[in-house]
Amino acid sequence: MTAPEAGRGIGIGERLAEETTTFGFPRDTFRILHVSTGNVCRSPITERLTRHFVAERLGVLGGGLIVESAGTWGHEGAPMEANAETVLAEFGADASGFMGRELLDEHVIRADLVLTATRDHRAQVISMGHSAGLRTFTLKEFTRLVRAIDPATLPPLDEGLVMRARALVRAAAALRGWLLAPTAEADEVYDPYGAPLPFFRSIGDEIRDALDPVVTALTGVPARM
């Protein structure tokens, strides 16, 4: 038995035009949900950097893409940590208007892709049910899988960002059992809560490096040099 080719055996050509709704929600949107613990450090950075990088590549955050975040022990209504805001500002991303949220069933139900900071967060999301297993990954796990996907197997962007994003998730899920992490720690983004700014910056760099190939695959547009 050989590993399946990314984008093959997952029905990209036949199954993307199947049902018009997912869990009762319209299929003309694609929701990315970033999950960490308190939703004041890692997941806010990841949420706002995703928005920023997509807008950089496409000129606007649109095409039906919705990016949000929550925490497994989320500080409901809390502001983002000041050091997280500083890191985002240094990347040129917008931190304004953020408020922490506790992860709820409805967030998982509505999400088309859940990206978590750690394996424990991933396990907690999957344990909530809602058929979340095939669309929930750690951020670094998803990056590793996306790097192995041939972009030519994905629908072109002119067929719609939503269609391309759904194909990307299906291709990544098909590869999950074949491309394992070299170490358990390789799929973790560690918590900078309470740490000094230099550590926040290092976590910001990790998140940026993990997001770059994901956003490139999602949009079909590489980062500007």
User: pLDDT band at residue 18, thresholds of 50, 70 and 90?
Assistant: very low
8 A C-beta contact, residue 156 and residue 164: yes
Q: What pLDDT score does 14 carry?
A: 30
Residue burial 122-135, b: 16+ Cβ < 10 Å; e: rest: bebbbebebebeeb
Strand pairing class (30-36; 113-116): parallel
- At 177, the pLDDT band (50, 70, 90 cuts) reads confident
**pLDDT tens, 73-127?**
988 999 999 999 999 999 999 999 999 999 999 999 999 999 999 999 999 999 9
- Is pLDDT above 50 for 180? yes
How many residues are present in the chain? 225
- Helix spans in the chain (H): 12-15, 42-58, 82-91, 105-110, 119-127, 139-147, 161-175, 197-219
Mean pLDDT of 67-78: 95
Question: Helix, strand, coil proportions of the chain in percent (round to 5)?
Answer: 45, 10, 40
Nearest to 139 by CA among 68, 209, 197: 209
The DSSP letter of residue 11 is -
Tokens standing for residue 129: 């049910």
Distance CA 193, CA 138 (A): 19
pLDDT tens digit sequence for 19-61: 333 434 446 899 999 999 999 999 999 999 999 999 999 887 7
Query: What pLDDT score was predicted for residue 9?
Result: 31
Under the banding of pLDDT at 50, 70 and 90, the label for residue 225 is: low
Distance CA 181, CA 1 (A): 20
Residue closest to 10 by CA, chosen among 173, 165, 213: 173
pLDDT more than 70, % of the chain? 88
| In the predicted structure, residue 147 carries a pLDDT above the cut 50 | yes
pLDDT at 25: 42
| pLDDT recorded at residue 196 | 97
Please give the average per-residue pLDDT across 135-161, as a whole number: 95
pLDDT beyond 50 at 149: yes
pLDDT digits (tens, 9 = 90+) for 184-207: 889 999 999 999 999 999 999 999
For 165-176, the pLDDT digits (tens) are 999 999 999 998
Q: Are 162 and 63 in contact (CB under 8 A)?
A: yes
Locate 173 and state its tokens: 């899920």
